[in-house]
């Protein structure tokens, strides 16, 4: 069976753009003082945890709350929707593989996928996506993560990634296929099997 893993955030959608542009209202986070709220919000929007962060902190609480709000607001890429539907029509088994904490965001994630007409067979959360692919004997991964770019080659996983300003400088070093539009992937996956 033809099987593929596909990431959601910044792969199928514009999550980081939404995260940076969304106004976060202090009133929803009153358990924090205003100075701490502003500091944490800056860290979240710039994807850098505060230096004094410890596990299960107020920062983690705010981080997840802001992300869960932005998951719902992110727009699916029209070319990604079309490509995912094409995969399903062509009998690919699709694993949605995300960093999201599905313990708290599974229903919202399923709703977002359904509302955007993105087909899938399974949905999992994984921090080490190429390792997940290797363990499940899945040869193909579409993901924007720099960590996936580094580890996929050594595990025999063929990585495809949307080119961004963040990962553009790694293109030469990665043994992966960068693309600007999902339209560039049809030929790759028509000949995959």
- As a whole number of angstroms, the distance between CA 131 and CA 112 comes to 26
Sequence-distant (≥ 6) Cβ neighbours of residue 118 within 8 angstroms: 12, 76, 80, 81, 84, 85
Q: What is the mean pLDDT of the chain?
A: 90
Write down which residue in 73, 105, 123 finishes a domain: 73
- pLDDT value at residue 169: 67
Least confident window among 73-77, 92-96, 187-191: 187-191
**The pLDDT value given to residue 192:** 58
- Residue 28 is predicted with a pLDDT of 86
Looking at residue 123, which CATH number applies to its domain? Answer: 3.40.50.1000
Nearest CA-CA partner of 81 in 115, 56, 111, 104: 115
Q: pLDDT by residue (tens digit) across 89-131? A: 999 999 999 999 899 899 999 999 999 999 999 999 999 999 9
86 and 144, same domain (yes or no) = yes
**Higher confidence at residue 105 or residue 174?**
105
Q: Domain check: are 112 and 82 in the same one? A: yes
Percent of residues, the chain, with pLDDT higher than 90:
69
- Do 157 and 110 belong together in one domain? yes
In the numeric block, the tokens 């962060």 are attached to 53
Domains in the chain: how many in total?
2
Q: What is the pLDDT at residue 171?
A: 58
Whether 6 and 67 map to the same domain: the answer is: no
Please tell me whether residues 64 and 81 are part of one structural domain. Answer: no
Res 20 pLDDT > 90? yes
Same domain, 118 and 23: no
Determine the structural domain holding residue 61 and report its residue range.
15-73
Same domain, 84 and 48: no
Q: What is the pLDDT of residues 50-65, one digit of tens each?
A: 887 665 688 989 999 9
State the pLDDT at residue 55.
56
């Amino acid at each position: 069976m033809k099987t593929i893993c596909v990431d959601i955030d910044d792969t199928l959608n514009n999550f980081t753009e939404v995260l940076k542009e969304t106004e976060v209202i202090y009133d929803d986070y009153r358990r924090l003082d205003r100075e701490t709220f502003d500091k944490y919000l800056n860290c979240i929007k710039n994807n850098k945890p505060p230096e004094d962060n410890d596990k299960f902190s107020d920062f983690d609480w705010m981080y997840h709350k802001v992300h869960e709000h932005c998951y719902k607001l992110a727009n699916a890429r029209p070319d990604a929707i079309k490509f995912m539907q094409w995969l399903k029509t062509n009998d690919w088994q699709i694993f949605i593989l995300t960093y999201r904490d599905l313990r708290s965001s599974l229903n919202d994630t399923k709703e977002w996928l359904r509302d955007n007409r993105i087909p899938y067979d399974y949905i999992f959360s994984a921090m080490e996506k190429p390792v997940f692919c290797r363990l499940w004997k899945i040869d193909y991964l579409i993901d924007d993560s720099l960590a996936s770019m580094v580890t996929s080659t050594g595990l025999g996983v063929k990585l495809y990634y949307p080119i961004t300003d963040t990962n553009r400088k790694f293109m030469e070093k990665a043994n992966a296929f960068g693309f600007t539009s999902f339209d560039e992937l049809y030929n790759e996956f028509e000949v995959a099997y």
